[in-house]
Amino acid sequence: MVRFMEFAASKAGRRFESYPDLYDWSTTEIASFWETVWDYFRIIHSRRFAKVLDGTDIMTARWFEGARLNFAENLLRHTDDRIAIVSSTEASSPRSISYSNLYAKVARCSAGLKKLGVAEGDRVAGFVPNTPEAIIAMLATTSIGAIWSSCSPDFGFQGVLDRFGQIQPKVLIAADGYQYNGRFHDSIETVRHILDTIPSVERAVMFGNLEPTPEIAFDRGMSWAELLDNENNEIEFAQLPFDHPVYIMYSSGTTGVPKCIVHGAGGTLLQHLKELALHTDLSRNDVITYYTTCGWMMWNWLVSSLAVGATIYIYDGSPSYPSFDTLFKAVEKEKITVFGTSPRFLSACEKNGLIPKDRFDLSSLRTILSTGSPLSTGNFEYVYQNVKADLQLSSISGGTDIISCFLLGNPALPVYPEELQCRGLGMRVDAADDNGKAVINQVGELICSAPFPSRPVMFWDDPDNARYRAAYFEHFPGIWRHGDYVKITDRGGGIIYGRSDATLNPGGVRIGTGEIYGPVESMDEIDDSVVVGQRVGNDVRVVLFVVPSEGVILDEDLKNRIKERIRSQATPRHVPAKILAVNDIPRTLNGKKVEMAVTRTIHGQAVTNKDSLVNPGSLDQYAGLAELQTP
């Protein structure tokens, strides 16, 4: 970050005294900033841009017009014998792939896909676990100029159909199955069903997650070995415009068919390089991991670490199998320097009594990243007291919508409990009041009021951009409204309070769900929770559902202690009107709580896309609860 600040100062002909000074420049001289990012990271291109930015409307502004580049070429710029990927699963020992070997495999995969007729603009879908084959297939796809889209194999068939069925892929890359929590889950029948239902798929390429060569028991099937069975050693990288589509991502789809969000190659590349190399301080000497599946944007973010030349450690399986120390063992063994996780994992480690610093050599570990939900003060305390005292704990927040972050870490700034260290360079982010005015030290809607290159290129099958505009720009015309509640502090950091579409409004007072989760889930007696608003007459009352820890009964005494904890750590208005025990909390396949699904269920409304949940049966217990029918 400091080196970049010096580089930017020389380009801008001025001096930057601090990060706030650099940030202000990056969000006022926007074109100059992003040109500096391009030059600093020496983006590989065949034609330089004629103009950095044309227009001021976030959705329609054109970026780096005239440029020609290839996403995969920039990720494969290193071709030496350093280790690019270390891969491990529950059922297999780690395997390593060097940068030179990765290039060779991508070259053969690219040639194989071309032989199958894959061309620029075609879609290649991955129904894949988090293994090297997924990365190789993505790089081969994007080297051609085709578009990559992936779901993890724990998606149910309907969830896959709702996603891939919309984008009509030409080729499907899939594994025979995956291992989770000590059990192998077969994917062959789901793949067969996909082929029967999505006629655009001309070939399904299968690889063995546990066995080297799975049996191909259906038409249009071929093995991974067959795809790579050629002598091609060089990659012909298609040179494409800056906004040429590279990824199709999906919204959660818990209240309807998922939105297909299309991201461009150049914007994704620039944002990821900025966030990895500057905000995370990643270099060639680092080993980075993020616990993720191929259906979450953090996989895409992690894989971009190849452009920096770092080593990526990928793990497929349960983070708690056979115990919660699995990933910390990997930190010690693989000398991981940047470890990405979630508040839920950290809370689970704490409740299981894990003290990693006493059991593992974590001397390599420099940074812990966390996203998926807000980090509580208790999470910060647990990390610094029980994991490592001298590391950077960075809570980061953005999303699939921008395939990057609005707020994140900064190695040159201090860490404060609950607080995301800073707004990302080049991202004019604010908390907005009801009138769209930026406020400091007040909770408001998270907005971005200036163009940024990683905005979606478009939504798939949305020719007039009506759904795209409705998703982000209708609340505050021309301004990106992200759907989170945030407070921007006078230090320049931010505190996320949860989704604004899940906001509680008892008595007309807005309450972020995250303000309740922190106090509740820090209690030893509570394993998990979800809080929603229930309509009662013309008002809304707060209802809290909790999963008690093993052996704990939710009696009146515990309810009162929960209420007192919330009252003392938040306000009396945050105290729930009802507290009820459940045995499970509905979550997306990426581990995010789904307040809206619970809200719909308790109001007798249908949840139309349960396949987007990892545990759809959990919703049954919320339907028709007698306790909610009483005042």
| Pairing of the two strands 83-89 and 311-316 | parallel
**Region for 68 from its dihedrals, namely left if φ exceeds 0, alpha if ψ lies in -120 to 50, beta otherwise:** beta
Which of the four pLDDT bands, split at 50, 70 and 90, describes residue 279? Answer: very high
Chain position carrying tokens 């006078």: 490
The beta strands (E) that lie in 411-567 are given as 422-423, 429-432, 438-439, 443-448, 458-459, 480-488, 494-499, 526-536, 539-548
Question: How sure is the predictor about 255, in pLDDT bands with cuts at 50, 70 and 90?
Answer: low
Residue 322: is the preceding peptide bond cis (ω within 30°)? yes
User: What would the pLDDT profile of 187-222 be if each residue is shown by its tens digit?
Assistant: 988 999 999 999 999 999 999 865 555 666 678 889
Tell me which of 595 and 299 has the higher pLDDT.
299
What are 422's two structure tokens? 């800073």
* CA 301-58-422 angle, 5° bins: 50
User: What's the confidence (pLDDT) of residue 214?
Assistant: 61
Per-residue pLDDT tens over the stretch 440-497: 999 899 999 999 999 999 999 999 999 999 999 999 999 999 988 899 999 999 998 8
Residue-wise over 118-127: b if at least 16 C-beta within 10 A, else e? beeebbbbbb
250: Cβ contacts below 8 Å, ≥ 6 apart: 149, 151, 163, 258, 259, 260, 261, 295, 400
Amino acid at 142: T
Q: Which residues share a beta bridge with 392?
A: 367
Q: Which domains does the chain have, with CATH numbers?
A: 506-628 (3.30.300.30)
Torsion angle of the four alpha carbons 188, 191, 197, 201, in this order, in degrees rounded to the nearest 10: -140
- Per the model's pLDDT, the better-predicted residue between 154 and 246 turns out to be 246
- Judge whether residue 503 has pLDDT over 70: no
Cα dihedral sign, 320-322-324-325 = negative
Alpha-carbon distances of 128 from 53, 224, 339, 405, rounded to whole Å: 37, 12, 22, 25
610 vs 606: CA distance, rounded Å? 10
Q: What mean pLDDT, rounded, does the chain reach?
A: 92
Q: What is the pLDDT of residue 508?
A: 60
> How far is residue 498's CA from residue 511's CA, in Å, rounded to a whole number?
9
pLDDT of residue 338: 98
Distance between CA 301 and CA 310 in Å, rounded?
13
Per the CB < 8 A criterion, the answer to whether 129 and 209 are in contact is yes
For 285-437, strand residue ranges (E) read 287-290, 311-316, 338-341, 367-370, 392-395, 397-399, 404-408, 422-423, 429-432
C-alpha dist (Å) from residue 262 to 244, 258, 340, 499: 10, 12, 25, 22
Express the helix, strand and coil content of the chain in percent, nearest 5 each.
35, 25, 40
Estimate to the nearest angstrom the gap between the alpha carbon of 208 and the chain centroid.
26
pLDDT tens digit sequence for 98-133: 999 999 999 999 999 999 999 999 999 999 999 999
Residue 27 confidence (pLDDT) = 98
Q: How far apart are CA 190 and CA 172, in angstroms?
A: 12
State whether residue 70 is helix, strand or coil: coil
Q: What is the pLDDT of residues 389-420, one digit of tens each?
A: 999 999 999 999 999 999 999 999 999 999 99
CB 599, CB 576: distance < 8 Å:
no
Instruction: Give me the half-sphere count of Cα atoms (radius 13 Å) on the Cβ side of residue 338.
Output: 26
pLDDT at site 210: 56
Q: Specify the pLDDT at position 236.
A: 97
The fraction of the chain above a pLDDT of 70, given in percent, is 97
Residue type, 168: Q
